[in-house]
Amino acid sequence: MFPDTGQDRRSQAAKALFERAYARQMQGEFPEAVLLYKQSIETLPTAEAYTFLGWTYRFMGDLEAAIAECKNAILIDPTLGNPYNDIGAYLIDLGQFEEAIAWLRKATMSRRYESYHYAWFNLGRAHAALEQWPASLLCFEKAAELAPDYRPAREAASEIRRMMQ
Output the pTM of the full model: 0.92
Distance between CA atoms of residues 91 and 101, nearest Å? 9
Rounded Cα distance between 41 and 86, Å, is: 19
Q: Which residues pair with 80 in a beta bridge?
A: 112
Domain residue spans of the chain: 1-77, 101-165
Cα end-to-end span (Å), the chain:
45
pLDDT tens, residue order, the chain (165 aa)? 655 544 488 999 999 999 999 999 999 999 999 999 999 999 999 999 999 999 999 999 999 999 999 999 999 999 999 999 999 999 999 999 999 999 999 999 999 999 999 999 999 999 999 999 999 999 999 999 999 999 999 999 999 999 999
Domain 1-77: CATH architecture, name and number where available: Alpha Horseshoe (1.25)
